[in-house]
Chain A
Amino acid sequence: MNTIGQDIPRRDGHAKVTGTATYAYETPADNAAYCALLQATIAKGQVTEIDITDALALPGVLTILTPGDVQKLTPVENTELHVLQDNEIAYRGQIIGAVIADTSDIARHAVELVHFTYHVDEHDSAYSPDRDDLYTPDKLVTGAPADTSTGDVDAAMRTATHTVDHVYSTATNHNNPMEPHATTALWQDDTLILWDSTQGVHAVRTTLAEVLDLRPDQVRVICPYVGGGFGAKGEPHAPVVIAALAARALPGRPIRLALTRAQMFVLVGYRTPTTQHTRVAADDTGRLTAIAIAATGQTARIREYVEHAGAATRMMYAAPNRATSHRVAALDVAVPTWMRAPGECPGMFGPEVAIDELADALGIDPIDLRVANEPDVDPESGNPFSSRNLVACLRQGADRFGWADRAPRRDGDWLVGTGVAAAVFPAFTMRATAAIRYDQGRYTVEIGAADLGTGAWTVLPQIAADALEVPLDQVDVGIGDTSYPYASTAGGSTGTATWGSAVLAAVETFRDKFGTDPNDGDEAEGTHDQGPFNEQYATYAFGAQFAEVRVHADTAEIRVPRLLGVFAAGRIINPRTARSQFIGGMTMGLSMALHENSELDPRFGHVMNHDFAGYHIASCADATDVRAFWIDEEDPHVNPLGAKGIGEIGIVGTAAAIVNAAHHATGVRVRDLPLTLDKLLPGLP
Chain B
Amino acid sequence: MAPAGYRRGVETAITTRVDGTTRTTRVDTRTTLLDLLRERLGNTSPKKGCDHGQCGACTVLLDGRRVLACLTLAVTTHDHDVTTADGLAPDGDLHPVQQAFLDNDAFQCGYCTPGQVCSAVGALAELAQGHPSHAGDITADPEPTRAEIAERMSGNLCRCGAYTNIITAVEQAARG
- For chain B residues 105-121, which have a beta carbon within 8 Å of chain A? 105, 107-114, 117
Contact of A230 among B50, B84, B159 (CB under 8 A): B159
Whether A13 contacts B102 by the Cβ 8 Å rule is: yes
Contact of A178 among B30, B49, B135, B150 (CB under 8 A): B49
- For chain B residues 124-152, which have a beta carbon within 8 Å of chain A? 135, 146-147, 149-151
- Report B-chain residues with C-beta under 8 Å of the C-beta of A25: 38, 44, 48
Q: Considering the chains assembled together, what is the distance between the CA atoms of A109 and B10 in angstroms?
A: 13
The answer to the question of A50 belonging to the interface, with a C-beta cut-off of 8 Å to chain B, is no
Whether B4 contacts A178 by the Cβ 8 Å rule is: no
Interface string of A1-23 (1 = CB under 8 A from B): 00000000110111111111111
Whether A612 contacts B113 by the Cβ 8 Å rule is: no
Q: Considering the chains assembled together, what is the distance between the CA atoms of A103 and B25 in angstroms?
A: 14
Contact of B109 among A15, A258, A453, A579 (CB under 8 A): A453
By beta carbon, the residue of chain A nearest B114 is A19
Whether A104 contacts B54 by the Cβ 8 Å rule is: no
Whether B109 contacts A17 by the Cβ 8 Å rule is: no
Identify which of A26, A227, A591, A622 gathers the most chain B CB atoms within 10 Å of its CB: A227
Contact of A228 among B7, B8, B28, B109 (CB under 8 A): B109
The answer to the question of A113 belonging to the interface, with a C-beta cut-off of 8 Å to chain B, is yes
Known contacts A261-B49, A261-B51, A612-B54; is-contact A227 B109 (Cβ 8 Å): yes
The answer to the question of A441 belonging to the interface, with a C-beta cut-off of 8 Å to chain B, is no
The answer to the question of B46 belonging to the interface, with a C-beta cut-off of 8 Å to chain A, is yes
- For residue B8, give the distance in angstroms from its CB to the closest CB of chain A: 6
- Report B-chain residues with C-beta under 8 Å of the C-beta of A577: 105, 108
Q: Considering the chains assembled together, what is the distance between the CA atoms of A624 and B52 in angstroms?
A: 25
The answer to the question of B21 belonging to the interface, with a C-beta cut-off of 8 Å to chain A, is no
Whether A452 contacts B44 by the Cβ 8 Å rule is: no
The answer to the question of A234 belonging to the interface, with a C-beta cut-off of 8 Å to chain B, is no
- Report B-chain residues with C-beta under 8 Å of the C-beta of A454: 108
Q: Considering the chains assembled together, what is the distance between the CA atoms of A623 and B153 in angstroms?
A: 12
Known contacts A19-B45, A611-B50; is-contact A619 B154 (Cβ 8 Å): yes
Known contacts A104-B35, A611-B54; is-contact A453 B3 (Cβ 8 Å): no
- Report B-chain residues with C-beta under 8 Å of the C-beta of A12: 110
Contact of B151 among A32, A177, A591, A621 (CB under 8 A): A621
**Chain-B contact segment, one of A377-385, A413-421, A538-546, A581-589:** A581-589
- Report A-chain residues with C-beta under 8 Å of the C-beta of B98: 17-18
Q: Considering the chains assembled together, what is the distance between the CA atoms of A103 and B165 in angstroms?
A: 38
Q: Considering the chains assembled together, what is the distance between the CA atoms of A32 and B57 in angstroms?
A: 23
- For chain B residues 10-38, which have a beta carbon within 8 Å of chain A? 28, 30-31, 35, 38
By beta carbon, the residue of chain A nearest B57 is A178
- For residue A579, give the distance in angstroms from its CB to the closest CB of chain B: 7
- Report A-chain residues with C-beta under 8 Å of the C-beta of B113: 16-17, 19
Whether A227 contacts B150 by the Cβ 8 Å rule is: no
Q: Considering the chains assembled together, what is the distance between the CA atoms of A584 and B117 in angstroms?
A: 18
By beta carbon, the residue of chain A nearest B110 is A16
Known contacts A14-B92, A20-B86, A622-B163; is-contact A453 B108 (Cβ 8 Å): yes
Q: Considering the chains assembled together, what is the distance between the CA atoms of A25 and B159 in angstroms?
A: 19
Whether A618 contacts B9 by the Cβ 8 Å rule is: no
Contact of B111 among A106, A179, A580 (CB under 8 A): A179
- For residue A356, give the distance in angstroms from its CB to the closest CB of chain B: 24
Known contacts A19-B47, A177-B111; is-contact A105 B4 (Cβ 8 Å): no
Known contacts A19-B44, A26-B38, A59-B8; is-contact A580 B150 (Cβ 8 Å): no
- Report A-chain residues with C-beta under 8 Å of the C-beta of B5: 57-59
The answer to the question of B158 belonging to the interface, with a C-beta cut-off of 8 Å to chain A, is yes
Known contacts A105-B28, A612-B157; is-contact A21 B50 (Cβ 8 Å): no
Q: Considering the chains assembled together, what is the distance between the CA atoms of A25 and B45 in angstroms?
A: 12
The answer to the question of B160 belonging to the interface, with a C-beta cut-off of 8 Å to chain A, is yes
- Report A-chain residues with C-beta under 8 Å of the C-beta of B57: 178
- Report B-chain residues with C-beta under 8 Å of the C-beta of A453: 107-110, 160
Whether A109 contacts B154 by the Cβ 8 Å rule is: no
Interface string of B153-175 (1 = CB under 8 A from A): 11111111111111100000000
- For residue A412, give the distance in angstroms from its CB to the closest CB of chain B: 16
- Report B-chain residues with C-beta under 8 Å of the C-beta of A121: none
Whether B108 contacts A584 by the Cβ 8 Å rule is: yes
The answer to the question of B79 belonging to the interface, with a C-beta cut-off of 8 Å to chain A, is no
The answer to the question of A28 belonging to the interface, with a C-beta cut-off of 8 Å to chain B, is yes
Interface string of B70-103 (1 = CB under 8 A from A): 0000000000000011101100101000100110
The answer to the question of B63 belonging to the interface, with a C-beta cut-off of 8 Å to chain A, is no
- Report B-chain residues with C-beta under 8 Å of the C-beta of A57: 3-5
- Report B-chain residues with C-beta under 8 Å of the C-beta of A611: 50, 52, 54
The answer to the question of B68 belonging to the interface, with a C-beta cut-off of 8 Å to chain A, is no
The answer to the question of A613 belonging to the interface, with a C-beta cut-off of 8 Å to chain B, is yes
Whether B35 contacts A105 by the Cβ 8 Å rule is: yes
By beta carbon, the residue of chain B nearest A225 is B110
By beta carbon, the residue of chain B nearest A13 is B102
Whether A226 contacts B109 by the Cβ 8 Å rule is: yes
Given contacts A16-B107, A576-B105, A584-B160, 15 further A-B contacts (CB under 8 A): A22-B44, A54-B1, A55-B4, A59-B5, A59-B8, A177-B111, A227-B109, A228-B111, A581-B108, A591-B161, A611-B52, A620-B153, A621-B147, A624-B163, A624-B164
| A positions within 8 Å CB-CB of B | 9-10, 12-23, 25-26, 28, 32, 34, 54-55, 57-59, 103-106, 109, 113, 176-180, 225-228, 230, 256, 258, 260-261, 452-455, 576-577, 579-581, 583-588, 591, 611-613, 617-627
| B positions within 8 Å CB-CB of A | 1, 3-5, 7-9, 28, 30-31, 35, 38-39, 42, 44-52, 54-55, 57, 84-86, 88-89, 92, 94, 98, 101-102, 105, 107-114, 117, 135, 146-147, 149-151, 153-167
The contact sample of 23 A-B pairs, CB cut-off 8 A, is A13-B102, A17-B114, A19-B86, A20-B86, A23-B44, A103-B31, A176-B159, A178-B157, A179-B111, A230-B159, A256-B39, A260-B51, A261-B49, A261-B52, A261-B55, A580-B162, A581-B108, A591-B161, A612-B54, A620-B151, A620-B158, A620-B166, A620-B167
What are the 9 A-B residue pairs with the smallest beta carbon separation, nearest first?
A: A587-B161, A453-B108, A19-B45, A227-B111, A16-B110, A453-B109, A19-B114, A584-B161, A612-B54
